[in-house]
Amino acid sequence: MTLIHLAILLPIIAAVIVGLSKKYSKRIHTGWLVLPVPLLIVIYFLTLIPDVNRHDVLYHSMNVMPNIGLNFDVYVDGLGLLFAILISGIGALVVLYSIGYLSHREDLTSFYIYLLIFMTAMLGVVLNDNVLGLYLFWELTSISSFLLIAFWYNRERSLYGATKSMLITMGGGFLMLGGFLSLYLITGSFSIREMIAQVDLIQASELAPIAIVLILLGAFTKSAQFPFYIWLPDAMEAPTPVSAYLHSATMVKAGLYLVARFTPIFAFSELWVWLILLTGLITLAWASFNAVKQDDLKAMLAFSTVSQLGLIMSLLGLGALGVHTGAAEELFTVAIVAAVFHLINHATFKGALFMLVGIIDHESGTRSLKRLGGLMTIMPITGTMTAITAASMAGLPPFNGFLSKEMFLEVMVNIRHADFSFLSDVSILFPILAVFGSIFTFIYSVILFKEVFLGKETEDTPKTPHEAPWLMLASPLILSLLVIVFGLFPNILSQTIIDPAAMGILGTTTALDTQIYHWHGFDSPALWLTVFIIVSGTLLYMTRHHWMFIYEYHKEHFTLNYLYDRGLVYSRISSKQLNDKFVNGNVSHYLAYVLGFFVIVSIYTFIVNGMAIDIRTASPITLQEMIVVTIILIALAGILVVKSRMVALILLGSIGFSMALLFVMFRSADLGLTQLAIETVTTTIFLLVFSKLPDKESYKYSVKLNIPHLIISVGVALTAIIIGYSAYSNRLFDPISQFHIDNVYDLAAGGNMVNVILVDFRGFDTLFETLVFAIAGLGVYSMMRLRLNTKKEGDDHEEHIDESRL
């Protein structure tokens, strides 16, 4: 195991230690024990920046299940390193913030275990070269985020939001796995690097469009793109540290990472380009428009996160368009650089804003805009940081968000110079959508600061507002300082972080030598678009009471959330109806379903594969064997018709003893002795309980011919015979029996081949069979020990389990 493997697994190892040390850490906040973990990881990844800048890609492989192609292959290039630094760096700040946010009254151990599991999952996603391993970590992010969102599980909205996020993101992840398998069918490899090397083969395959759609569905659901964004606002029911970590800086960016990583593979396809570009711009415009009407501050930030993710997604689509068409190199290079830069900027200002909103909620008891106002004089530090980070989100100079937003506007204006194929006539809509989304981004950024911190001081808050303690202020303060530093000195990132990450997306080793400037001259269209956005946004904000009525036309029955809720209701009703129809308590019906399915699938397999049956080499049937089998059949038929229980018991015993005789005839003395012992014990037990059986009158039944059951019975019997003969007739490998004959004494020092096979050659099978018996025995013992105090006549208490007897 290398240091990179250890860095990925360190959080989950720490989670185990935190869980084991729960009883010993009651005097200290668990966050202090967890904080060194992300700090060590981010320091380690920062030391890898010089290696990546020298284009020294770090690759290490670890076999996990090589027979199916599942390996733990880590691949660290500029793109993976950027995300690893964000995951661990923001993670350290979130843990520090949570120490002040969460009190000892909370279940801190569970919270940090879930958080550490999520950290490992995200690191595994962004540093994995094997798509099967990537998928496992991908779904682990959905599971751990479900646990974090549902942390306050006594709240109905928390459970609703957690379930919603898991259903949507895990559903998309499952579809993404289908895309990965499609790529494997094309390339014969699960390695992303090898897939990139076989782009020509992928381009010529008919499966490529299927792989594109399935992989993008996984990316869009995880990164909350339209129309799958509906899970993110409801996920805001999680504690604020979770929102700051998962839903602004890490988890929601996993879809962006996936698109960026697979751009060198799929950039040849117009389908890939247009789905990403159009989805991103629609998401940007729609989410920013809906953010303005939100009253809850975290809901507003949730929609703003969706819009910012759409912005980055559209930049990735435009960069892929440049790769696809070979258009102006500067255009698509700037698009990719802008996407990477805004990815970093968004993590800084949005992570800080979530924490600051958490402070407002923590110290005032509410997040409602209607109940907040005039907090600047009460919470000046929080208000100053909110002003800085909100200005960055709005794209105002001199903060970092302004620089990446300028680059975004520049490429959207110049988009008309690219070859748009069949969409050339409507390409003017792209800068329009970009400007529209940016205007409403400016509006909700102003609302976020002005409505909360300026104006008349409100007294309608559950708690008396006051400034937060330093533990809660430290993390957003660090992020706010980064907003300023990256805004004033952007080129400290350009050569060290941005360029290597952009090169990983573009699939090139040619240095980009990116330089980021604040001023591009008066002839820059981005400058005038920024002025237009600020002026228009200001006017719309000042006149918002005259046009906010348009949101009233967006009726509840025409929302995606309503469709989701109705879909859940109908699916539950349909599932219950289907369940009630087939799960009716009739065991014979269950057997009919199972056995009928077995027969149908087996026959279909035989027909499709054309499996041959050759009985010429089968052993001859002797007269003695025929006599024993005839006895078994007669006894079996007799059990069904006899009236006497004693006669039925004798016939049942004769079947067992005849089977033992057959084993002896087939020279399986051990099996014969085993069958003989089992049959003897079984018959003895029946005789012991014979006197306890019901009266003879209750032992009455009639044999009726059931045609469906007869068909299934005959079908199962014939299918079993055909399978046996087919397996005998179609040997794909040399039989292993000769290996046992040759090695039973030399390798296992045994003379009895059957015993050696069971104990040595198949020892693990025997061990686990023994374990199954042990579990069954414990279950029987537990049921025998269970005592139910049934409700007596006239008692008021309900039936309960006497736990003292367990």
- Give the Cα separation of 297 and 367 in Å (integer): 5
- pLDDT for 802: 41
Distance separating alpha carbons of residues 286 and 279, to the nearest angstrom:
10
**Residues 388, 389, 390, 391: is their CA dihedral positive or negative?**
positive
Q: Which DSSP helix (H) or strand (E) runs through 510?
A: none
Residues 375, 387: Cα–Cα separation, whole Å: 12
For residue 316, CA distances in Å to 331, 520, 769 come to 12, 23, 54
Residue 444 · residue 292 · CB < 8 Å: yes
Let me know how long the chain is: 806
**Tokens encoding 564:** 């989701």
Q: Are 467 and 320 a contacting pair, CB within 8 Å?
A: no
Tell me the C-alpha distance between 53 and 496, whole Å.
6
Domain ranges of the chain: 267-542, 587-732, 741-806
* Cα end-to-end span (Å), the chain: 45
Q: What is the dihedral of CA 152, 156, 158, 160, to 10 degrees?
A: 150
331: three-class secondary structure by DSSP:
helix
Angstrom distance (rounded) from CA 306 to CA 281:
11
Q: Tell me, what's the pLDDT at 702? A: 59
How far does Cα 659 stand from its chain's mean position? 51
Closest listed residue to residue 512, CA positions, set 496, 526, 525:
496
Q: Name the amino acid, one letter, at 439.
A: I
For 171-295, strand residue ranges (E) read: none
Coil, strand or helix at 805: helix
CA angle 610, 185, 123 (to 5 degrees): 140
Which of 233, 220, 100 lies closest to 161, judged by CA?
A: 233
* Contact call for residues 257 and 126 (beta carbons, < 8 A): yes
State how far the Cα of 530 lies from the Cα of 576, in Å rounded to an integer.
55
Query: 0.85 exceeded by the pTM?
Result: no
pLDDT at residue 432, as a whole number: 92
Q: Using alpha carbons, select from 10, 279, 277, 250 the residue that is nearest to residue 138.
A: 250
Residue 358 burial (CB count, 10 A): 26
CA distance 762 to 746: 16
Give SS3 for 594.
Answer: helix
How much is the pLDDT for 803? 38
Return the H-helix or E-strand segment holding 75: strand 74-76
Query: Which helix or strand (DSSP H or E) is residue 801 part of?
Result: strand 800-801
Q: Which residues pair with 703 in a beta bridge?
A: none
Nearest alpha carbon to residue 29 among 18, 42, 14: 18
Question: Rounded to whole angstroms, how far apart are CA atoms 253 and 224?
Answer: 9
Give 110: exposed, middle or buried? Use CB within 10 Å, 0-12, 13-18, 19+: middle
pLDDT along the chain (806 residues), means of 10: 91 93 78 95 95 85 87 92 95 95 89 96 95 95 94 90 93 96 95 93 94 96 93 91 85 94 90 92 95 93 95 92 59 89 95 95 91 92 96 94 94 74 70 94 95 84 89 95 95 92 86 84 88 96 90 74 84 77 79 89 82 74 89 88 83 90 85 88 84 62 73 89 80 77 78 78 81 87 64 42 36
DSSP letter, residue 401: H
